[in-house]
């Protein structure tokens, strides 16, 4: 809860105004002294700058910058000045992120699946306030696992316990649920492309494709196995702008790409402990230029592959320092909220998109990175 202190107007009668004048005069003196202290403090702090973390490391040209961390409402809301704190008291957090598992976004908003409370945490970037999706009655969520938000702010949520895909509109009102408890066995993630709904079913070792209008099952992509086009315990999926499907084939230690018709295209990664290998791959996301990002909870890093499945860059690493990761899971690329996060970027670094990484443990819940172009010398 946010605590607010209200200052009531003074009721004047008789000669009481003299006392009020003295009180005001005293306050002015105190305020002046405090402001002088604050100005001197700010002057000292302005010389202290936080380290800027780029990937790759200098002297190579930066392509990615660690920007900030979102762990609680206090990380995003508009800060009170020290003078406001002096008069009104410090701000109080009303929300913390527990165990973020997946994340998506729309213009001005973030949506986070929090496994600590099995709810969808909503973040308003304009106000910095946290809230929860109102999932009641037919829209009540049980165990949300994956989320996809369309450009018009419609939310599709894979729910393990309901064995359904639950949909909420731009006003966060329940719209409908796909699946009657029989189609899916363990729906762990969801992605949308045009009129198709892609559902990653870990127990069926496949991705099920549904028609968005009728809810009818159109086709199945993959089957259990280790060959090309076969899957074993898939956990996360994403689709690009051309309808290509990317599946984290977790127990085969790779990511597989399928075309819009469900045909196998190529494999990313392999089993091992070398660069480019995967040990406990989780979230996947892809940018508009075909760069595939893969989070690995064992290596505690994210790897970037090009469209030819060649490793370009990896970043993160275990730890709790800036840019480090702690059991990373869901990841997401955001083109809509660049303006908000540009203020965290180096003055010579122009952001092209934002990348969020969910850390299931450790103090830093959501790592925020920016991919962009270096404009400096």
The CA distance from 297 to 42, in Å, is 40
The CA distance from 116 to 186, in Å, is 19
- Beta strands (DSSP E) in 170-280 are 174-178, 187-193, 196-201, 206-211, 217-221, 234-239, 245-249, 254-258, 264-268
Of 78, 149, 76, 77, which Cα lies nearest the Cα of 112?
149
Q: What's the Cα-to-Cα distance from 55 to each of 77, 314, 335, rounded to whole Å?
A: 28, 8, 19
The CA distance from 127 to 141, in Å, is 26
Q: pTM for this one?
A: 0.84
| One pLDDT digit (tens) per residue for the chain, 377 residues | 333 223 223 233 333 323 232 343 433 333 334 333 433 344 333 334 568 999 998 889 999 999 999 999 988 865 544 554 555 455 544 479 999 999 999 999 999 999 999 999 999 999 999 999 988 899 999 999 999 999 999 999 999 999 999 999 999 999 999 998 789 999 999 999 999 999 999 999 999 999 999 999 999 999 999 999 999 999 999 999 999 999 999 999 999 999 999 999 999 999 998 889 999 999 999 999 999 999 999 999 999 999 999 999 999 999 999 999 999 999 999 999 999 999 999 999 999 999 999 999 999 999 999 999 999 87
The CA distance from 254 to 276, in Å, is 10
């Amino acid at each position: 809860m946010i605590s607010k202190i209200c200052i009531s107007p003074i009721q004047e009668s008789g000669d009481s105004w003299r006392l009020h004048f003295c009180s005001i005069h005293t306050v002015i003196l105190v305020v002046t002294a405090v402001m002088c202290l604050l100005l001197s403090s700010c002057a000292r702090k302005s010389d202290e700058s936080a380290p800027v973390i780029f990937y790759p490391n200098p002297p190579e040209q930066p392509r990615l910058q660690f920007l900030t961390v979102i762990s609680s409402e206090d990380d995003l809301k508009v800060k009170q000045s020290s003078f406001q704190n002096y008069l009104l008291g410090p701000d109080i957090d009303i929300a913390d992120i527990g165990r973020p598992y997946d994340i998506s976004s729309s213009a001005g908003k973030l949506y986070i699946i929090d496994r600590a409370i099995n709810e969808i945490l909503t973040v308003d970037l304009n106000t910095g306030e946290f809230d929860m999706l109102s999932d009641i009655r037919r829209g009540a969520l049980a165990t949300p696992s994956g989320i996809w938000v369309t450009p018009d702010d419609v939310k599709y949520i894979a729910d393990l316990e309901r064995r359904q895909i639950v949909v909420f509109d731009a006003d966060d009102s329940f719209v409908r649920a796909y699946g009657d408890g029989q189609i899916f066995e363990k729906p762990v993630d969801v992605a949308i492309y045009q009129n198709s709904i892609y559902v990653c079913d870990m127990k069926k070792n496949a991705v099920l494709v549904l028609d968005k209008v009728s809810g009818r099952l159109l086709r199945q992509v993959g089957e259990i196995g280790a060959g090309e086009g076969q899957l074993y315990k898939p956990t996360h999926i994403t689709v690009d702008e051309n309808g290509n499907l990317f599946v984290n084939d977790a127990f085969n230690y790779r990511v597989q790409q399928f075309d819009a018709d469900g045909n196998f295209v190529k494999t990313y990664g392999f089993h091992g402990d070398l660069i480019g290998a995967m040990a406990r791959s989780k979230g996947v996301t892809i940018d508009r230029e075909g760069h595939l990002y893969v989070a690995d909870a064992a290596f505690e890093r994210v790897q970037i592959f090009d469209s030819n499945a060649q490793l370009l860059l990896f970043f993160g690493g275990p730890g709790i320092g800036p840019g480090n990761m702690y059991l990373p899971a869901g990841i997401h690329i955001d083109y809509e909220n660049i303006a908000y996060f540009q203020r965290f970027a180096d003055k010579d670094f122009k952001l092209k998109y934002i990348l969020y990484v969910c850390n299931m443990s450790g103090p830093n819940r959501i790592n925020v990175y920016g991919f962009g172009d270096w404009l400096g010398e």
